[in-house]
Structure 1
Amino acid sequence: MLAVGLRDEKRRQTRRHIAEVATGLFLERGFAQVTIAEVARTAEVSVNTVYTYFPSKEDLVFYPEEASAQRMVQMVQDRAPGQSAAAAVLAALRGELRNGERMVGLTQGFGRFLEMVRAEPTLSVRLDAIGREMVEALGSVLAAETGAASGDPTPHLVASQLGWAQTELFREIGRRTRAGQPPGTVAEAALALLDTVESLLSPTLLTYATR
């Protein structure tokens, strides 16, 4: 078991290394101008190794560890007794901000990264698709948990509003990192934004699917 754990960790490290090298090249020269062969050469791995971890070039930008359609589902499934779906998502986002985690873009290059994604049609389409998949996945889980009737739009609408909250959070973080603000300042502003977002959500949504 120890050997399996070490092997899995080595694979995660290799995948992250390749993705970080690729992202650096994409930010420096543009997504379309960088080839898989260049990524492999710079990362000091073979082209086959790159494709083993990343079936497509777009996967180098949106790799599963940081671009999972199950992201909000996991937040909700991990919630404590007495906690609603919205409370779980907001608490998870606040925790990531306070811990300065990469998952919420608290890095100096995040603003440039978002600009690159939106400037490249294939990446922009992929980002929007991940967002839709995230909402659909959460809506399905909420429908199952609450026993919502077939055709009841409530679970999807709740998931959509939580997806909106996350999108607005990332937009604010991207804007501030692009302006050169340090991660600590960005995190404080993002936490304040979440407070505002929560104040705008209805009591029905804030208490929906309480465990």
Structure 2
Amino acid sequence: MQEGLRERKKRQTRQRIADVAMGLFMTRGFDNVTVAEVARTADVSVNTVFNYFSTKEDLFADRQDVAVDLAPRVLRERGPGESVVRAFRRDFLDALGTRDWRYGLNAGADVFARIVGEAPSLAAKLRELGEERQRALAQALADELEADPDDLTPRLVASHILNTTRLLGDYSTRRQLAGEAWESIEPALRAQAEKAFDLLESGIGDLLAGKGAGDGHEPEHQDDEA
């Protein structure tokens, strides 16, 4: 369906407000910017801002609806015979190669992370968003598996996959925050991703098998003294 003029103008207004807000947040920090300042800079009223965004945190996470649907979409769009893990491996490596934002691998992800790190309310918002993403993927998996409501499989799989991609994104961001160039981060991140998805595919059942915690560190036994 073709977008009408009214819908296009609303979408453009929403995007302009979000872009203005992000520019202010990046320059001055989230907690140092008010919604009134965003409205004034975007040349709209405060009420208009709140017509599009329920909270100030929503101004920062303006693509949250898209972000929540990303994981279910990967599941829906997997190829014939492609497993869930292989679909996410393919999608993550594609994002890595193109530096797409969907896994936090884009240029500027370090700036985004720094703003979040300085604003507790934003950190809480993103945790909430992460939980929502996990629920959405778990529900999509449950629907495809026709799982019983008491079956933990969809939630376990969603948790394993999204925690893996989150940790890989965090690995990249930490190195960017340390001042490393993407050219040095990318090969290491790719190797870490391949290892992580291999582990998801094979499971961890054999991890440390045959190597007990005490191997090589046998305690010394002393005879009891009378």
TM-score range, shorter chain: 0.7 to 0.9
In the alignment, which residue of structure 1 is the partner of 2:14? 15
Query: Aligned with 1:115: secondary structure?
Result: helix
Q: Which protein has the larger Cα radius of gyration, Structure 1 or Structure 2?
A: 2
In the alignment, which residue of structure 1 is the partner of 2:103? 104
Query: Aligned with 1:45: secondary structure?
Result: coil
Q: In structure 2, how many angstroms separate the alpha carbons of the residues matched to 1:147 and 1:180?
A: 47
TM superposition shift of 1:36: 0.9
**Does structure 2 retain, via aligned residues, the 8 Å contact 1:106–1:186?**
no
C-alpha change, 1:128 and 1:137, in structure 2 (3 Å) is: same
**Does structure 2 retain, via aligned residues, the 8 Å contact 1:118–1:124?**
yes
Q: In structure 1, how many angstroms separate the alpha carbons of the residues matched to 2:65 and 2:172?
A: 16
TM superposition shift of 1:10: 4.5
- Please say if 1:133 is aligned against 2:132: yes
In the alignment, which residue of structure 1 is the partner of 2:163? 164
**Does structure 2 retain, via aligned residues, the 8 Å contact 1:169–1:193?**
yes
In the alignment, which residue of structure 2 is the partner of 1:30? 29
Query: Aligned with 1:150: secondary structure?
Result: coil
Q: For structure 2, which runs of at least 5 residues remain unmatched after alignment?
A: 205-226
In the alignment, which residue of structure 1 is the partner of 2:178? 179
Q: Deviations over 1:6-42 (max 9, x none)?
A: 6545544433332232122223222122111111222
In the alignment, which residue of structure 1 is the partner of 2:123? 124
Q: Deviations over 1:111-133 (max 9, x none)?
A: 13213213322111111111111
Q: In structure 1, how many angstroms separate the alpha carbons of the residues matched to 2:148 and 2:3?
A: 47
TM superposition shift of 1:171: 0.5
Q: Deviations over 1:153-182 (max 9, x none)?
A: 111111100111121122022113323344
State the TM-score, normalized to the length of structure 1.
Answer: 0.83
Tell me which amino acid in the other structure corresponds to 1:73. P
Tell me which amino acid in the other structure corresponds to 1:119. E
**Does structure 2 retain, via aligned residues, the 8 Å contact 1:22–1:60?**
yes
In the alignment, which residue of structure 2 is the partner of 1:73? 72
**Does structure 2 retain, via aligned residues, the 8 Å contact 1:94–1:191?**
yes
Name which of structure 1's ranges 22-31 and 156-165 shifts more when overlaid on structure 2: 22-31
Q: In structure 2, how many angstroms separate the alpha carbons of the residues matched to 1:44 and 1:182?
A: 37
Q: For structure 1, which runs of at least 5 residues remain unmatched after alignment?
A: 206-211
Task: Tell me how large the CA RMSD over aligned residues is.
Answer: 2.5
Q: In structure 1, how many angstroms separate the alpha carbons of the residues matched to 2:73 and 2:131?
A: 16
In the alignment, which residue of structure 2 is the partner of 1:152? 151
C-alpha change, 1:37 and 1:181, in structure 2 (3 Å) is: same
- Length, aligned pairs only: 204
Q: In structure 1, how many angstroms separate the alpha carbons of the residues matched to 2:161 and 2:106?
A: 23
State the TM-score, normalized to the length of structure 2.
Answer: 0.78
The structure whose RCO (Cα within 8 Å, separation 6+) is larger is: 1
